[in-house]
Amino acid sequence: MIRLFAARPAALVGLASLFAAARLDAGPRVPAVASYTIEAHVSAEHGITGKETVRFTNRTHFSFDDLRLHLYLNAWKNDRSTWLTEQARGAGRRDRGMRAKDASRWGWSEIHRVSLEDGTDLTSALKYVSPDDGNPDDRTLVSVALPRPVAPGETLVFRVDWEGKFPRAIARTGWKDDYLLGAQWFPKLGVATDSGWNAHQFHAATEFFADFGDYDVTLTLPKAVKGRVGATGVLKDEADFPGDLVRVHFAAEDVHDFAFTACPRFEVVRDTFSSPGLPNVDIVLLLQPDHRPVRDRYLKAVKAGLADYGKRYLPYPYPVVTVVDPPWGSHTDGMEYPTLFVGGARELAPAAAHSPESVTVHEFGHQVFYGMLASNEFEEAHLDEGFNTYATLRTLKSAFGDPSLVVRFFGLPVVFPSVVLPYPEAANERYHRWAQSSRSDATDVPSFRQLDGGAVRVNAYNRTSLLLASAERTFGAETWAKVMKTYATRWAFKHPTSADFVAVVREVAGDAPANAVAGIWSTAGPVDYAVTSASTRRSRGPNGYTGEGEARTLATPKDEAGGWESLAVVQRLGEATWPVEVEFRFEGGARLRRPWTSDSRWIRYRITGPKLVAVEIDPDHQCLLDANPLNNGRLTGEAPAASRRWEARLRFWAQNALEFFALLGVAGLS
Amino acid sequence: MRRDSVLVLATRGLASALGTWKAILLFLVLNALLAAAFLHPLASALHETLDKNPWAERLAAGDTDLHTFFTSFARTRPDVLGDLEKWDEAVTGERGERGPSGKATPLSGFFGTTGLSGSAVAYAALAAVLAALFSGGFAGRFGAERDRTSLAAFGADAARFAVPSLLFGALSLAGILAAYRWVYAAAGTLYEPDELRYEWEATGLVLLRLGAFLLVAGILRLVVTYARAAMGQGATNPFAALMSGFGFVLARPARTLAIEIFFGVLGILPLLVWAFLGPVWNGGDFADFALILAGQQLVVILRILTRAGHLGAASAYLKRSREPVSPAAAPPLRVAPEPSAARPTETPVAVTAP
């Protein structure tokens, strides 16, 4: 249920969100495509047995003659799965290796029966499909042939009985000790489009894509977690259940996934966000007891996200947001699901490190780009991760400033307050390393088809984040804020694509910004502008003969008083282009700027006038995509102070480093 | 106060080290030269990158843009710094990314890399050889208790004890590397930090492994230190000196360790003071530079002094303990007749011609 700008008294919010038997607040409904009613039992051994009724409404122009269901837990059924094969090749997160003899490491999901509302059994029509890589051993996607196609506008109700097992947590799904994060745990429909199903196998480096709908989920779990279960949506009911179990009932409307978590150690912290012009939101923080010191920092970060994202992009329309603080070593930190996200904290967490603030704001931010805009993360991961990284760093900078360098020495954090890690550059350093060495794929290559995890991460997170930050600096903060706001409000709940965003840029900011954005996404090459030479000398008269006839005289060159001649060459060393300015700085402080918006490879400037002191491309540091900012400028003279300063500092530390070996006894002086 | 208390021995050690001030100055000069050579490629690259670059103006003004500059520099000049990941891992104790097996050889990655990170191993080894040779000189002078300022005598001792000194240095190096490999790193493969329930358990285990490694390394250093001291006091057989040092430390573990910790803390103090309070040269004013350079060298010399002082204290401790530093030998065979009286007398012999 979307509740736009519907402020409510804070005290009522708590009651409503905890036991919200009543209808959620008013607002425009998103037409449901795939709605689920699920009843499932989660055993103490992390097994899951469930029945789901799925109501699929075909809102496309395509007739579907089969169903496509994701069985994501089969990514960890065995090492032949596409997910684990890709991870072994370096895609995705580096989680622990799967130990062959340790059954707890593996997970699986199996459909026992599929039937239509009238009881027609479709189980025999079920077959595993691998449209992305043809892997016959992958079991993460099934097709169920239908007796007759689902025509446009038609609704099909079907039922699935299934069983599964959660693995020891991997890739933000599963359990550790007494903690469980139930994600991607039920058979889930692909996305219905005008060209058929958009349903991919589970890939190691990419995430998910689903249609919106309503979820009504009832779970029975071991009683030990009573009062400590969090999930997508609102808790409608919680009660004891025979067999030493607890039964919880959650409902969520206008979402595209459902996740839950349970841990007897959770400390439940409740708070309410309220801000003028934005709807009130209940915050439920499920905190690990050893992370109590960061409780308020979690809450402050969620509120910063709710306020900033609400004003800049979209107000958070759901009545509650649940923040999960995962335990140490769970491998579930930093993940988003509708109305619920997983943060991550360390026991010793200096404020200067901005952790858990950064992960909290980021994962909350997904509620906008993943939760409400809901782009296809299999194919265009940058529309969620990149946009959200840009937005996260912006929010963090305005709410908390820049972080400082924090290095952990044997688990103990040491803060270096003078070494500032500026947002957004420092957080996106990975892009520059990639631009220096790999450049394997353009951003518009479907994410799951890119070379490796590095390419996906850089394109999805860093490149797009820096692209948007560069656009904001280059085309103006106000214009860019309008672009982002227009995009978010226009495309909320509509699964936008990159082309949709570029169209918004073109409409709001003009052709040049739209072409710049599209240009960066369409090439793997870096942006790299360089000043390759800069020189200046006094203007001189001609050398040789001047004049004609009797007036011809042999002139010897003489310096002309007051005048200087300068030459500068700027080059575009990278394949990509970005509109930049070239600044010429002269003795006495005069400055001159010239735009460089063409795609020419180089420009030679010849300047007469005052003495040229420096030439610098992008002097305001607007283009954060430049792969090598160190070649962006050149002085006509020498300024060795900085290198001398650092040489002296480093030499002293080198002396001590060499001496340190003796201190350890390696050198053997003592 | 007892004559063999930690403070008395430390004071005597430092006094002995001060007596060898010429050798300490020489060591400082060599250390500075080695550091300059080690850093030369980086310094050249910095000049090459910065001297005609507007970045120089920003960096001279302060540290605001430091992170951006150094990450860009490391990225665009990988030939200069090389791969620092393994060093970073060793210094911070944080494990880097692992392959699917989750394991990597603890000492792999230090050798064979290019740039500063690669040459660091070679320079560390060179510093070790230099320090080992100097330690022979220090041990000899502390043992002799005379001519401590004499560089000639110091040099003679350094040469005389060169082979055992290098042997001790090699043993120390091998022992500490083995301790790192088997005590710290191998212990880390016995458990998976993520499998522990709380982070403090993981941190505690890392610190425990580190503590165990430092203890073993400290004991190794102690044995070598007292072996050197024994060598300086006349134990000509290096193996005998080593066993003598081993026995001495084994008999007095608490006090010898206390002395080591005392000098360890004393050695790190000047560095900490400089790190937090030391001025930074602006790169322009050479009068300031002279003062700051002098301050920096004072820090390094104090650190060298404390380590030489530790050897001096060990030497003093050995002497005070009145333990033989070499195996007992059989009494010498006397071949000269002892005089029959307190004062030898002359006996006139009359020689007559046949």
How confident is the model over A137-148, as pLDDT tens digits? 999 999 999 999
Give me the amino acid identity at A78: N
Find, in chain A, the residue whose alpha carbon is nearest to that of B219. A665
The arithmetic mean of pLDDT across residues A560-564, rounded, is 77
- Torsions phi, psi of A7, nearest 5? -75, 140
pLDDT confidence bin for B292, thresholds 50/70/90 = very high
- Mean pLDDT within B316-321: 89
Instruction: Determine, for residues A327 and B127 on separate chains, whether the beta-carbon distance falls below 8 Å.
Output: no
pLDDT at A664 over 70: no
Question: Within an 8 Å CB–CB cutoff, is residue B321 touching chain A?
Answer: no
- In the numeric block, the tokens 């201190």 are attached to A663
If you measure CA to CA, which chain B residue comes closest to A528?
A: B76
**How would you write chain B as a 3-class SS string?**
CCCCCHHHHHHHHHHHHHHCHHHHHHHHHHHHHHHHHHHHHHHHHHHHHHCCCHHHHHHHHCCCCHHHHHHHHHHHCHHHHCCCHHHHHHHHCCCCCCCCCCCCCCCCCCCCCCHHHHHHHHHHHHHHHHHHHHHHHHHHHHHHCCCCCCHHHHHHHHHHCHHHHHHHHHHHHHHHHHHHHHHHHHHHCCCCHHHCCCHHHHHHHHHHHHHHHHHHHHHHHHHHHHHHHHHHCCCCCHHHHHHHHHHHHHHCHHHHHHHHHHHHHHHHHHHHHHHHHCCCCCCCCHHHHHHHHHHHHHHHHHHHHHHHHHHHHHHHHHHHHCCCCCCCCCCCCCCCCCCCCCCCCCCCCCCCCC
CA dist A408 and A491 (Å) reads 42
Is the pLDDT score of B349 beyond 90?
A: no
- Tell me the per-residue pLDDT of B55-107, one tens digit each, with 9 for 90 and over: 998 888 777 788 889 999 999 998 998 888 878 888 888 765 444 444 555 56
Confidence band, pLDDT 50/70/90 cuts, at residue A18: very low
Touching check for B226 and chain A: CB below 8 Å?
no
Whether A291 shows a pLDDT value over 90: the answer reads yes
Lowest mean per-residue pLDDT among A242-256, A328-342, A614-628, B309-323: B309-323
B103 Cβ under 8 Å from any chain A Cβ: no
Mutation for B interface: A81, A655, A660, A661, most B CBs within 10 A: A655
Answer yes or no: do A634 and B168 touch at CB < 8 A: no
Flag whether residue B80 sits within 8 Å of chain A, measured between CB atoms. no
Q: CA of B64, closest CA in chain A: separation in Å? A: 7
Is B165 in contact with A633 (Cβ distance < 8 A)?
Answer: no
Q: What is the pLDDT of residues B97-150, one digit of tens each?
A: 444 444 555 566 666 678 888 898 889 888 888 999 999 999 999 988 777 889
* pLDDT at residue A17 in the model: 41
Residues of B in contact with A638 (CB under 8 A): 51-52
What pLDDT shows up at residue A275?
A: 96
Instruction: Say whether residue B294 is in contact with chain A using an 8 A CB cutoff.
Output: no
**C-alpha–C-alpha distance, residues B298 and B309, integer Å:** 16
- Band of residue A136 on the pLDDT scale cut at 50, 70, 90: very high
How far does Cα A260 stand from its chain's mean position? 21
* Percentage above 90 pLDDT, chain B: 58
Residues of A in contact with B32 (CB under 8 A): 651, 655
B286: buried, middle or exposed (CB in 10 Å: 19+, 13-18, 0-12)?
exposed
Q: Do B50 and A668 touch (CB under 8 A)?
A: no
pLDDT exceeds cutoff 80 at A2: no
Amino acid A16: pLDDT: 38
Out of B55, B93, B280, the one facing A645 most closely (by C-beta) is B280
The answer to whether the CB atoms of A643 and B176 lie below 8 A apart is no
Cβ of A641 within 8 Å of Cβ of B56? The answer is: yes
- pLDDT above 70: residue B334: no
Kindly give the interhelix angle for B199-232 and B286-321, rounded to the nearest 10 degrees. Answer: 70
* Model confidence at A339: pLDDT above 60: yes
Confidence of residue B326 (pLDDT cuts 50, 70, 90): low
Residues 228-257, chain B: which have Cβ within 8 Å of A? Answer: 228
Confidence grade of residue B354 (pLDDT, cut at 50, 70, 90): very low
Contact A96 B102 (CB under 8 A): yes
Q: How confident is the model at residue A64 (pLDDT cuts 50, 70, 90)?
A: very high
* Higher-pLDDT residue of B85, A446: A446
Cα of B106 to nearest chain A Cα, Å: 15
Mean pLDDT over residues A477-492, rounded? 97
Tell me which chain B residues have a C-beta less than 8 angstroms from the C-beta of A426. Answer: 67-68, 71
Which residue of chain B is at minimal alpha-carbon distance from A175?
B195
State yes or no: cis peptide before A326, omega within 30 of 0. no
Neighbours of B345 (CB within 10 A): 7
Which chain A residues contact residue B101 at CB under 8 A?
97
Nearest residue of A to residue B31, measured between CA atoms: A655
Which member of B221, B283, B299 has the closest CB to residue A670? B221
Residue A496's pLDDT band, with cuts at 50, 70 and 90, is very high
- Chain A, nearest residue to B265 by Cα: A663
* Paired tokens of A97: 């290796």
φ, ψ for residue B146, nearest 5 deg? -155, 165
Residue A591 above 70 pLDDT?
A: yes
- Residue numbers of B between 264 and 293 with CB closer than 8 Å to A: 264, 267-268, 271, 274, 280-284, 289, 292-293
A76-85, A87-96, A405-414, A575-584: segment of lowest average pLDDT: A87-96
Q: What percent of chain A has pLDDT over 90?
A: 84
User: Helix and strand tally (H, E) in chain A?
Assistant: 12, 33
Residues in B closer than 8 angstroms to A645, CB to CB, are: 59-60, 280-283
Helix, strand, coil tally for chain A in percent (to 5): 30, 35, 35
B193 contacts A329? CB cut-off 8 A: yes
pLDDT at B331 exceeding the cut of 90: no
Residue A124 has pLDDT above 90, yes or no: yes
Cβ–Cβ of B91/A408 closer than 8 Å?
Answer: no
- B98 in contact with chain A, both atoms CB, cutoff 8 A: yes
Contact A663 B267 (CB under 8 A): yes
Across the interface, whether the CB atoms of A634 and B53 are under 8 A apart is answered yes
For residue B92, give how far its alpha carbon lies from the nearest alpha carbon of chain A (Å). 4
pLDDT given at position A131:
97
Output the pLDDT for position A522: 97
Q: Mean pLDDT across chain A, nearest whole number?
A: 92
B 1-60 residues with CB below 8 A of A? 31-32, 34-36, 38-39, 42-43, 46-47, 49-60
Most confident of A102-111, A116-125, A413-422, B315-324: A116-125
User: What are the DSSP E strand ranges found in A276-337?
Assistant: 278-287, 320-324, 335-337
Give residue-wise pLDDT tens across range A199-239.
999 999 999 999 999 999 999 999 999 999 999 999 999 99
Whose CA is closest to A390, among A488, A522, A294?
A488
ipTM beyond cut 0.85: yes
Q: pLDDT band at residue A666, thresholds of 50, 70 and 90?
A: very low
- pLDDT at site A668: 45
| Cβ neighbours of residue A396 closer than 8 Å, sequence gap 6 or more | A304, A354, A357, A358, A361, A423
The per-residue pLDDT for range A68-107, each reduced to its tens digit, is 999 999 999 999 999 999 998 877 665 555 555 688 889 9
Task: Indicate whether A627 pLDDT > 50.
Answer: yes
Q: Which residue has the higher pLDDT, A62 or B285?
A: A62
Contact A347 B271 (CB under 8 A): no
Q: Which of A637, A650, A665 sits opposite B176 (nearest CB)?
A: A665
Could you tell me the two tokens for A382? 């940058």
CA distance A619 to chain B (A): 10
With a cut of 80, say whether residue A172 has pLDDT above it. Answer: yes
Q: What is the predicted pLDDT for the residue at B353?
A: 44
So what's the pLDDT on residue A407?
94
CA distance A612 to chain B (A): 13
Residues on chain B touching A96 (C-beta within 8 angstroms): 102, 192, 194
Which among B38, B52, B66 has CB closest to A634?
B52
Q: Could you tell me if A199 and A141 are in contact, meaning their C-beta atoms sit under 8 angstroms apart?
A: yes
pTM of the model as a whole: 0.89
Give pLDDT, residue A209: 97
Residue A531, pLDDT > 60, answer yes
